[in-house]
Chains A and B, each alone.
Chain A
Amino acid sequence: MLELQLGLTLASNSMQGFDLNCCAGYEPKEVVGLNPLINKAMHQLSPSFSSRSDNGNQVDNKKRSFDDAFENNRAVPRTLPLLLWNNQPHEDDDPKDFYSHPSFAINQNNGDSVVGWPPIKSSRKKHCHQNNRSVENECGYGVIRSSSNYMFVKVKMEGVAIARKIDLTLHHSFLTLKSTLINMFGTCQEDSNCYKLTYQDSEGDWLLAEDIPWRSFVRSVQRLKLLRSTALLI
């Protein structure tokens, strides 16, 4: 749960003629006396940053002390934060949770695209589609085989929202392929045994990748999926 410490709101009267265009719309009023808790929290901020940077010296010199930040900087108003930044690591900061959260709202679209990405206006998007309609891929799915040296295939890992793509021409065995994929999704190699590599063939069927020779696999693969072993009925 959120631990909130509400600081004092200093008397900053709204300016007459509130200026919407000026980013420094508030003139700081005289500071009567700051809550010592706030003071302490602010001081905690500076040392914690320097420990994070490799170029420790350079970054430190740029960091403003609390006084510099709040006395001379007109742009930051004196209203105090609703939550004190205490910079303690929290469990809910774990980035992995973010991606497996059920509400992580990415429109899957059969895993083909993310809503509004890449950021292109609709008028332009319409134009792209019209142009590329003539580029029919022979296999009808997600793979474009060309005379150039690429063969990109979509890969999904169970439990991960965003798909990746991998160039199969860079691989010659299931071992290297699987190892690279595990790396791509940020899982450690020890866990790779927990995942099975499956693929969708040109007929739309999902099969276990390691069951056929590499060459046949490359000729018929349309897309890949890494499934957790427990999910398979084998």
Chain B
Amino acid sequence: MLKKMSYSFPEDVLEHVFSFVTTHKDRNAISLVCKSWYEVERWCRRRVFVGNCYAVSPVMVTRRFPEVRSVELKGKPHFADFNLVPEGWGAYVYPWIEIMSTSYPWLEEIRLKRMVVSDESLELISKSFKNFKVLVLSSCEGFSTVGLAAIAANCRNLRELDLRESEVDDLSGHWLSHFPDTYSSLVSLNISCLGSEVSFSALERLVGRCPNLRTLRLNRAVPLDRLASLLRRAPQLVEFGTGAYSAELRLDVLSTLDGAFSSCKELKSLSGFWDMVPAYLPAIYSVCSGLTSLNLSYATIQSPDLIKLVGRCLNLQSLWVLDYIEDSGLEAIAASCKDLQELRVFPSDPFGVEPNVSLTDQGLVSVSEGCPRLHSVLYFCRQMSNAALVAVARNRPNMTRFRLCIIEPRTPDYLTLEPLDVGFGAIVEHCKELRRLSLSGLLTDRVFEYIGTYAKKLEMLSVAFAGNTDLGLHHVMSGCESLRKLEIRDCPFGDKAILANAAKLETMRSLWMSSCSVSFEACKLLGQKMPRLNVEVIDESGPPDSRPQDCPVEKLYIYRTVAGPRFDTPTFVWT
């Protein structure tokens, strides 16, 4: 009787309360409380996130959540970014669009990452969802400007079109002209990945008639001397990405551009700057003090100019830059950018034989000392020491994402010639909130022991050219309680650790192992015994059982799923 009393909240009260609970994690937790909460929750869920498009089927999703307005899907594993996943592996979005086109007529938002999106999919999207508002295609491929034209022409209520880092078959820039003259609801447009020129007058007219435009990221083909006229039409912009930022110095162009930037009082984020020439740097000085985000990772200016620029950006929270910044530039940042939270330093010459810039472990230590809010780091360099890593760990116990890439595999501590186990050990020991970690340099099983012991909140780990034996992998799989994604390449890990920790795999999203020592036998066993895992052996050189038994598989991708084996497996994937 008591039971009945406590659960007699009317459904709309529950629904109202649930509407304040927004994160996916929390909504999922709510649905597990009891059957009635599960029912109420599933009817009022508006946003769904599927971290692996093969973990569940579109029918299962639409059946459970009938009233969804926003869907986010992720496809290929992360290492696909580095060409490790062969063409044709999968992650096709069409089956999802097909199902949703009938089940979710009121769908407003689709966000996709690392998926194959065909022009047909885009056309179907543009025709199926009358209130479609947001399309974000992050690192996607498989579509051309024809599909984009369909979106432009048919999505009357489109707010956001973001193609970040996708590979588009760029047939012509004409697609932009398909936005009708009456269309004026654009809020965000990111076409930075496109190769060819869009019709500039169409772009100008579009920008001019959309008063709510906040974000405009142009592609490289837009020349510098056109920027001013765009900015003048959209002084309300908050985020702006230039095209190629290079031209012969003409004072009239410089002063017009300077004037145009100055009129943008809301500007918080700048990007683009391909082939940047120092001569036009002063044009952006007027907005520097308001900037919170600056992406100079395509800007080829050198350290002294970079220092002059970032020295004015006192409110910077996120900086992406090439290693031209050098240690001296990072010291300057440590001194002026006290609000810095995220730093990414990319290599200007990653395949060069010798270092071309003076960027070392010292730069990293400087920012770790000077920037108290720094918690997310991606750093490419050529030398590192345990001492530096220990210093970073001690300085920044608030680190949440730490990705270090020492360019040459297996590089030891340059001071002691020892492995970098102790340094990374310090990182995981001191940074108790660490969620993401990428390792590099010379590393033994020892570093994995540290990781398994200390990295309790670690969710994603990337490993390359590290470790000695299966014990290393075992430490990680048995110790890292929060681990969701593990990606490994070129490590001497074999069957033992995976099989001994088979159960762990059902608590994770996925495991990727390439160029390791896992046998086909072990894969088959795992696939047989664990029906809720899909074990995919990716091997383009032929059937794995035609090779000798001790021959390791080329690539292995294991992920948990409730959808069973997939229907679109290509010939080079063996399950």
Question: Which residues of A are interface residues toward B (Cβ below 8 A)?
Answer: 2, 4, 6, 14-26, 45, 49, 52-53, 59, 62-63, 73, 75-85, 87, 90, 92-93, 95, 98, 101-106, 112-125, 127-128, 131-132, 135, 142-144, 146, 148, 150-154, 162, 164-165, 167
Contacts and interface: CB of A to CB of B under 8 A. Distances in A.
Interface stretch (B252-260, B310-318, B325-333, B407-415): B407-415
Contacts of A24: 507
B471 interface: yes
Interface in B519-533: 519, 521-522, 525-526, 529-530, 532
22 contacts: A2-B525, A14-B532, A17-B64, A20-B28, A20-B560, A20-B562, A25-B507, A62-B453, A73-B481, A75-B482, A76-B503, A79-B506, A105-B514, A114-B490, A116-B83, A116-B84, A120-B346, A123-B165, A127-B274, A148-B354, A162-B409, A167-B354
Given A22-B28, A82-B525, A106-B490, 6 more contacts: A21-B49, A23-B508, A76-B503, A83-B500, A132-B349, A165-B354
A120 B350 contact: yes
A116 B353 contact: no
Given A4-B525, A62-B454, A120-B350, A79 B517 contact: no
A103 B492 contact: no
A59 B453 contact: yes
Contact of A95 (B350, B459, B464, B468): B468
Contacts of B459: 23
A141 B494 CA distance: 37
Interface of A is mostly: loop
A26 B499 CA distance: 19
A124 B297 contact: yes
A2 B521 contact: yes
Contact of A16 (B38, B350, B407): B38
Contact of A121 (B28, B81, B468, B560): B81
A104 B481 contact: no
Contact of A115 (B84, B139, B500, B522): B84
A85 B508 CA distance: 20
B525 A117 contact: no
A81 B509 CA distance: 18
A23 B483 contact: yes
A15 B32 contact: yes
Q: Which 4 A-B pairs have the closest CB atoms?
A: A116-B82, A83-B499, A98-B492, A79-B503
Given A75-B481, A82-B525, A118 B501 contact: no
Contact of A131 (B300, B509, B551): B300
Contacts, number: 210
Contacts of B10: none
Contact of A114 (B32, B409, B453): B409
Nearest to B346: A124
A128 B350 contact: yes
B474 interface: yes
A16 to B, nearest CB: 7
Nearest to A143: B353
A144 to B, nearest CB: 6
Given A22-B28, A103-B551, A128-B351, A83 B507 contact: no
A162 B25 contact: no
A17 B31 contact: yes
Contacts of A82: 499-500, 502, 525-526, 529-530
Given A22-B25, A22-B29, A75-B481, A118 B380 contact: yes
Contact of A93 (B50, B165, B470): B470
A40 B348 CA distance: 54
Interface string B39-74: 000000000011110011000000010000000000
B507 A106 contact: no
Contacts of B409: 114, 117, 162
Contact of A128 (B64, B349, B482, B562): B349
A6 B525 CA distance: 11
A83 B495 contact: yes
Contacts of A116: 79, 82-84, 489
Contacts of A165: 353-354, 408
Contacts of A17: 28, 31-32, 38, 64
B507 A76 contact: yes
A62 B500 CA distance: 21
Contacts of A115: 82-84
Interface in B452-494: 453-454, 459, 462, 464-465, 468-471, 474, 478, 481-484, 489-490, 492, 494
Contacts of A142: 353
Nearest to A77: B503
Contacts of A153: 353
Contact of B474 (A4, A19, A85, A162): A85
B507 A75 contact: yes
B339 interface: no
B248 to A, nearest CB: 18
Nearest to A18: B562
A192 B505 CA distance: 45
B225 interface: no
B350 A152 contact: no
A51 B499 CA distance: 24
A103 B350 CA distance: 26
Interface string B167-209: 1000000000000000000000000010000000000000000
A95 B504 CA distance: 25
A132 B51 CA distance: 37
Given A83-B499, A105-B515, A121 B449 contact: no
A28 B51 CA distance: 24
A133 B19 CA distance: 55
Contact of B354 (A79, A118, A152): A152
Contacts of A59: 449, 453
B494 A120 contact: no
Contacts of A49: 449
A81 B79 contact: no
B47 to A, nearest CB: 12
B144 to A, nearest CB: 17
Given A103-B551, A142-B353, A118 B453 contact: no
A15 to B, nearest CB: 7
A119 B77 CA distance: 14
